[in-house]
Amino acid sequence: QVQLVEVGGGSVQPGGSLILACAASDRTYSDACMGWFRQAPGTEREEVASIHFGVGSTYYLDSIKERFSISRDIAKNMIYLQMNNLKTEDSGMYYCAARIPAMARSGVACYFALQTGDVNWGQGTQVTVSS
C-alpha cells in the first residue's frame, strides 16, 4: 500500500497562489493514477485534478481548470498542484490520492478511476483563502 504525504497548504488572500506537493512512498509508480481532492466543511469531497503518473496525461474539474495545474516528478515520486488566482470557495482540506495499478491510461480515465476502487489517501493539508 502506497503512503502519501501532502505538504504546502496554508492561508492566502483571494487572488493569491499556493502550490501543494504530495510525496509517494519509495517506489516509482509508472502505472498509477494520482490526483487531488478537496473538501470544505459540510460538503462532499470533490476531485479537482488527476494525472496518470506514467503517461503524464491530466484532467481537471471544469471550475478550476483555468487556474490549477497538476504535474508530477517521476524521479521524486511526487505530484504537485499549482493553484493560482485562488478564490474563497477554494478553501478546504486538500487530499492527495493514488490508485495503483491505475486501471486507466489517461488523465480523464484516471479522474474517474480515482472515484472508484481501492484508492490510497494522504492525511490532507488545509488551504484557507480569506481576506
Q: Compute CA distances 30 → 25, 52, 53, whole Å.
A: 13, 8, 6
Percent of the chain with pLDDT over 70: 98
Range in 28-32, 85-89, 104-108 with the lowest mean pLDDT: 28-32
Joined grid coordinates for residue 99: 490508485
pLDDT in tens, 62-84: 999 999 999 999 999 999 999 99
Q: Compute CA distances 111 → 15, 44, 67, 124, whole Å.
A: 26, 16, 18, 18
Q: What is the pLDDT of residue 31?
A: 86
**Do the beta carbons of residue 68 and residue 83 sit within 8 Å?**
yes
Q: What is the pLDDT of residue 26?
A: 60
pLDDT in tens, 22-52: 999 867 678 899 999 999 999 999 999 999 9
